[in-house]
């Protein structure tokens, strides 16, 4: 993780090859994570792990990376980019199918968002938007865990708080989102 911070500092100082170094460092980790999660997908999934990582990188700025404040800022932006890609993909698929009933979701049984069907993903998205308005810090934790696939320890480090605090925030966020999805 310290290497990411060093490269982000180099980007901020205008080093021309820093974006390429960042991509090489982050890409392998994101690709492995995405591939692991996509391995559990049903056949016929149209979104591939590689495409998700590439699209997220492009949305973050590609070779012209913005000035990142720190590692947490970068990973938060990456999680948000992946979330938006998945939401856009689910909306596109839903529009083609012309709807269907909203499906209730057991939030405890959910894994990384790429493993969800479109209805579940849209229900989670709506609940997460409401939750973010109420508690943006805990919502950011959900995005990092659920959309970027970070562990509780990694997310706590990125957000700058202790692991026990992250566990408490995660338990609260899961309960809040579960209730919001169930009442939808």
Give ∠ CA 177-68-128 in degrees, rounded to 5. Answer: 10
Question: Among positive and negative, which fits the CA dihedral 51, 54, 60, 64?
Answer: negative
∠ Cα 171 176 177 (to 5°): 100
Structure confidence by residue, pLDDT tens digits, 134-152: 999 999 999 988 888 888 9
**Residue 102 has what DSSP assignment?**
P
Predicted confidence at residue 127, as pLDDT, reads 92
Q: Sketch the domain layout of the chain as residue ranges.
A: 2-182
Instruction: Please state the length of the chain.
Output: 184
Q: What is the structure's pLDDT at 138?
A: 95
The predicted pLDDT at position 80 comes to 80
In the predicted structure, residue 25 carries a pLDDT above the cut 80: no
Query: Model pTM?
Result: 0.52
Q: What is the pLDDT of residue 101?
A: 47
pLDDT for position 37? 55
pLDDT digits (tens, 9 = 90+) for 5-18: 788 778 777 777 77
Half-sphere exposure of residue 136: CA atoms within 13 angstroms, side-chain side: 3
What average pLDDT does range 84-111 have in this prediction?
59
Q: Rounded to an integer, what distance in angstroms lies between the CA atom of residue 174 and that of residue 51?
A: 28
Q: pLDDT tens digit string along 31-41?
A: 766 665 556 55
């Amino acid at each position: 993780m310290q290497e990411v911070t060093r490269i982000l500092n180099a980007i901020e100082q205008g080093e021309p090859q820093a974006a390429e170094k960042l991509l090489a460092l982050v890409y392998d980790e994101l690709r492995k994570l995405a591939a692991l999660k996509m391995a559990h997908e049903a056949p016929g999934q149209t979104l591939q792990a590689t495409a998700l990582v590439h699209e997220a990188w492009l949305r973050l700025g590609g070779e012209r990376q913005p000035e990142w404040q720190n590692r947490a800022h970068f990973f938060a932006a990456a999680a948000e980019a992946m979330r938006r890609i998945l939401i856009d993909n689910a909306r596109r698929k839903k529009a083609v199918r012309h709807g269907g009933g909203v499906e209730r979701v057991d939030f405890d049984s959910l894994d990384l968002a790429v493993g969800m069907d479109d209805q579940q993903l849209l229900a989670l998205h709506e609940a997460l938007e409401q939750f973010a308005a109420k508690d943006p810090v805990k919502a950011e934790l959900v995005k990092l865990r659920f959309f970027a696939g970070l562990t509780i320890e990694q997310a706590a480090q990125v957000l700058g708080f202790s692991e026990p605090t992250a566990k408490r925030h995660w338990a609260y966020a899961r309960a809040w989102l579960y209730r919001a999805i169930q009442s939808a």
